Amino acid sequence: MEYNFKNTEARWQKNWADQSIYKVDDESDKEKFYCLAQFPYPSGAGLHMGHVAIYTYTDAIARFKTHQGYEVLHPMGWDAFGLPTENHAIKMGVHPAEITKKNVANFRKQLDSLGFSYDWDREINTSHPDYFKWTQSIWMKLHEAGLTYKSEMPVNWCDTCKIVVANEEVDADGTHERCHNPTEQRNMKQWMFKITQYAEQLLEGLDELDWPESSKKAQRDWIGKSIGAEVQFNINAFDESLTVFTTRPDTLFGATYMVLAPEHPLVEKISSAEQKDIVKEYQNKSARKSSFDRSEMNTEKTGVFTGAYATNPLNGADIPIWIADYVLMSYGTGAIMAVPAHDTRDFEFAQEFKLPIIRVLREDGVPDEDLNEAFTGDGMLINSSNDDLNLNGLNKFKAIDTTIQWLEEKSLGKKAINYRLRDWIFARQRYWGEPFPVIYNESGEMELLKESDLPLTLPQVSSYQPTDTGESPLASIDDFVNTTDNNGKPAMRETDTMPQWAGSCWYYLRFMDPNNSEAFASMARQKRWGRVDVYVGGTEHLNLHDLYSRFWHRALYDLGVVAEKEPFQKILHQGMILGADGSKMSKSIGNVVNPDILIEKYGADVVRLNLCFMGPVEANKPWNETGLDAIRRFVSRTSRLIYEKEKWINGDGEGDALVALHKTIKIVLGDMERYRFNTAIARMMELLNALQKADKRGKGALEKLLIMLSPFAPHFCEEMWQLLGNEGSVTRASYPNFEEKYLVEDEVEIAVQILGKLKLRVNVAAGLNPQEQQDVVLAMPSVQEKLAGANIKKVISVPGRLINFVIAK
């Protein structure tokens, strides 16, 4: 007799649902564990293998932690606002909410067919008014805290489709992904978030998190803190000065020219009459450059001279002021002092335009030759003194400190910090998102809605096509736009909507208290569930969703409405499931694997086990179809142990099988705690092999194997659990413990090496010290034979591992 998954899986799924076995108890005395997977966007395409993988991982973690006695919060919901749905709505003329409903139902059905342990009473949907009411409410809180503002910002405009397209809809070559026509930049006034105000806190907060070091580094680099100085340069013949930011104030004596961003506000004023035209022309040219052109790795430097000069505050030299698009208006002050000798970009620019290069730093002990490239390392300052400042002979860091001190004394500059992080554009000119709870009164002033007026819902319309002015479709719906302010006077609504990040920025909080109608989540529940203990998601969201969430969370913490400083204590990045050929799954290559078909053919348990066995969670793994047969065999063989009732004995078994059981429990426990599912499953396969060899199989051992296996194959284990005569669900069983006494071996096999090369393996008593082990081994005839005539110079004896004889050659 062999296990057959058909009917069994559906039967248990129904049974678990009927018994509400995954119901989360908010009031339980157990220690909590919050296990979260990035929730899906319910697209029309249904679940793909990547979804199945990530949800299989969190389900294994959740079930394992439940076995260990934790009260586990393992929720699921829908990130349901989004562009594909809206685009589909535009095309088909169906309301996005209808499409979403259909897609959610399909996703739900697929997830259910995999047997995941979700408490569906906690399901959330970011596009439901009950949910986005709180998204709007949180936005208002953050607005009142002064963290939002409106600003002219460029958007991608597709002139063919007459719509604003999001960055993710623009292909790498700058074309719109749907119509493949070029997009252009248009400026529109839109809502922003002052995430930069939290740059320092977001940086510091990383220290206390158990994230992979590489992910922390990625966020640190993205925030991009740099410490340096702001220095003022007076512009000759104008009553104006330029402030620049530099991380290298030590090289100020080597500043031979200055560069402003083409958009810099002073450019027009200071350009000389004879340069005015070419300056204007250059400005126009760089304004037309799309983001594509700018990112096109063109190391070739362009720029023009403004005709104006500034004075180097340290040596009084007149230095020309240029404009060039390698200087960005959006970073620092939009102006730089150029030190070509010690900055790669400035060096290239100076070479291109034959500008002077003055060396102010020399590598110690290296003769002072002409530079072929900028010298950016540390060394000794030269050519750097004026009447009351002398940097010569100092190293880079000493010179930086000394210069800043001098600048501060003379009020010519000060120490300064800059961040690479930019403020966050928080608006879409689209329909299918959260409307801003904002109106503009008759005098054009902005007013917030009252909390009691939330949710502000989307109007029912028949067309979702954005207007050809670039405004959101909401702008053309008079019933929506025209409203009254708090005094009953005519007012107009904001017609932009929030981006998809809005709903996902705080969903992990809502899961703690999903049905609360008084608050987005009560303090009591937040304290109960604390931080997300393990958050499984992709690296692609690291500098977007993961950072945005941390920002909202921090800001809400400062407002006293959130209990913890940080949302995600640990992050685990799942790797991609690639096609069998090792390349990304894609329709065009035709290597896409459909999970539904696999579940139908092999059952959910086998699909889940295979995903976990293929390799480490974090690794990109090619999909391995033949692995499914191997896993199916593993499941069948395990079932046979249980069907062979005549070999059962009471207890955990005897002899080798008993030792194997306890060894396995110990190793599997360690693997599970480190989320090393592939090796955990390998160890269980070894245990299976050992049990199969045994004539008598302890029922206890079979039960323990089933508990260890059930986080991966819950249906199968549940069925076998009942066959062994157990009452109640295996999902509620306690994780097995190992006993040290079974792990103590009285003999160990060690390696005997000569000059580090393995010669033979011998058994020695366990627990010997190095000298004892050496004596025992040396006394063995087989060892003596190998050593015959050798002159032993040294012996390395590692207890229980090996013994290495170093002999004279």
Q: Which of residues 317-336 bind RNA (CB under 7 A)?
A: 325-328, 330-334, 336
Give the β-pairing of 335-338 and 257-260. antiparallel
What CA–CA distance (Å, rounded) separates 426 from 148? 9
- Give least dist CB 313 to RNA, A: 16
Least Cβ distance, residue 805 to RNA (angstroms): 8
> Considering only residues 68, 351, 679, 722, which one is a binding residue for RNA as defined by CB under 7 A?
679
- Of 113 and 638, which CB lies nearer to RNA in the complex structure? 638
Tally the residues of the chain.
809
The CA distance from 541 to 564, in Å, is: 21
CB hemisphere CA count around 629 (13 angstroms): 2
Tokens, residue 576: 């991609």
Show the binding pattern over residues 173-212: x = contacts RNA (CB under 7 A), - = does not.
Answer: ----------------------------------------
- Tell which positions 9-48 bind RNA, by CB under 7 A: none
Rule CB under 7 A: is residue 288 a binding residue for RNA?
A: no
Give the span between the Cα atoms of 628 and 187, in whole angstroms.
53
Amino acid letter, residue 36: L
**Binding of RNA by 540 (CB under 7 A):** yes
**216-255 residues near RNA, rule: CB under 7 A:** 217-218, 221, 224, 226, 228, 244-248
The two tokens of residue 731 are 């999902």
Is 144 or 749 the residue whose CB approaches RNA more closely?
A: 749
- How many Å apart are CA 90 and CA 109, to the nearest integer? 26
Three-class secondary structure of residue 757 per DSSP: strand
Residues 354-393, mask of contacts with RNA (x by CB under 7 A): ----------------------------------------
> Which one among 443, 462, 515, 626 touches RNA, defined by CB under 7 A?
626
Task: Kindly tell me which residue out of 121, 168, 200, 629 binds RNA, with binding defined by CB under 7 A.
Answer: 629
Among the listed ranges 489-497, 516-524, 589-597, 623-631, the one in contact with RNA (CB under 7 A) is: 623-631
Among 541, 627, 649, 774, binds RNA (CB under 7 A): 627
Give 56-112 as a 3 state SS string: HHHHHHHHHHHHCCCEEECCCEECCCCHHHHHHHHHHCCCHHHHHHHHHHHHHHHHH
Shortest distance (Å) from residue 404 CB to RNA = 13
The one among 160, 689, 737, 784 contacting RNA by CB under 7 A: 689
State in angstroms the smallest separation of the CB of 471 from RNA: 27
Give whichever of 94 and 806 is closer to RNA, judged by the CB atom. 806
Tell me if 250 sits within 8 A of 361, measured CB to CB.
yes
Closest CB to RNA among residues 117, 251? 251
- Phi/psi for 425 (5° steps) reads -70, 115
How far apart are alpha carbons 165 and 475 in whole angstroms? 17
For residue 614, state whether it binds RNA (rule: CB under 7 A).
Answer: yes
Secondary structure class of 667 (helix, strand, coil)? helix
Q: How far is the CB of 170 from RNA (least distance, A)?
A: 12
Q: Of these, 448, 593, 723, 806, which contacts RNA (CB under 7 A)?
A: 806
Taking the C-alpha atoms of 717, 720, 725 and 729 in order, what is their torsion angle to the nearest 10 degrees? 30
Nearer to RNA, 450 or 601 (CB): 601
Residue 519 in contact with RNA, rule: CB under 7 A: no
From residue 765 to residue 794, what is the string marking binding to RNA with x (rule CB under 7 A)? -----------------------------x
**Nearest approach, Cβ of 736 to RNA (angstroms)?**
18
Binding residues for RNA restricted to 740-759, rule: CB under 7 A: 748-751, 753, 755-759
Contact 375, 382 (CB under 8 A): no
Q: What is the smallest separation between the CB atom of 326 and RNA, expressed in angstroms?
A: 3
Based on the number of CB atoms within 10 Å of its own CB, is 45 exposed (0-12), middle (13-18) or buried (19 or more)? exposed
633-659: b or e for each residue (b if 16 or more CB lie within 10 Å)? ebbebbbebbeeeeebeeebbeeebbb
Cα separation values, 574 from 54, 279, 585, 736, Å:
7, 50, 16, 27
Residue closer to RNA, measured from CB, 658 or 803: 803
Question: Which residues pair with residue 188 across a beta bridge?
Answer: 153
3-class DSSP assignment, residue 297 = coil
Of 475 and 713, which CB lies nearer to RNA in the complex structure? 713
- Min dist. Cβ of residue 686 to RNA (A): 5
Contact 367, 375 (CB under 8 A): no
**Contact string 651-670 vs RNA (x = CB under 7 A):** -------------------x
Q: Please, what's the largest Cα pairwise distance for the chain?
A: 108
| Binding to RNA, residues 400-439 (CB under 7 A) | 418, 420
| 122-141 positions binding RNA, by CB under 7 A | none
- Residue 682 sits in the site that holds RNA (CB under 7 A): yes
Smallest separation (angstroms) from RNA to the CB of 437? 31
Give the three-class secondary structure for 443.
Answer: coil
State in angstroms the smallest separation of the CB of 295 from RNA.
5
Q: How many residues bind RNA (CB under 7 A)?
A: 86
The distance of closest approach from Cβ of residue 298 to RNA in the complex, given in angstroms and rounded to an integer, is 5
Sign of CA pseudo-dihedral 680, 682, 686, 688: positive
Stretch that binds RNA, among 3-11, 91-99, 298-306, 561-569 (CB under 7 A): 298-306
CA-closest candidate to residue 350, choices 360, 338, 362, 361: 338
Taking the least distance from each CB to RNA, the nearer of 220 and 276 is 220
Type of residue numbered 466: P
Q: For RNA, give the closer residue by CB, 85 or 638.
A: 638
Which residues within the stretch 699-728 sit at the binding site for RNA (CB under 7 A)? Answer: none
Nearer CB in complex with RNA: 235/327: 327
Bridge partners, 803 (sequence order): 752, 797
Residue 268 Cβ vs RNA, minimum distance, rounded to whole Å = 18
Return d(Cα 448, Cα 439) in angstroms, integer. Answer: 6
Query: What is the rounded CA–CA span in Å between residue 591 and residue 300?
Result: 41
Q: Which one, 446 or 580, has the nearer CB to RNA? A: 580
Residue 216 to residue 573: CA distance in whole angstroms: 12
- Least distance between RNA and beta carbon 603 (Å): 13
Q: Which residues, numbered 577-606, are part of the site for RNA (CB under 7 A)?
A: 582, 584
Structure token digits, residue 321: 């002021």
Residues with Cβ within 8 Å of 168's Cβ and at least 6 positions away in sequence, in order, are 83
268 vs 352, beta carbon nearer RNA: 352
- In the bound state with RNA, the residue whose beta carbon lies nearer, of 108 and 696, is 696
**Nearest distance from residue 377's CB to RNA, in Å?**
13
The two three-digit tokens of residue 473, written as one number = 């479709």
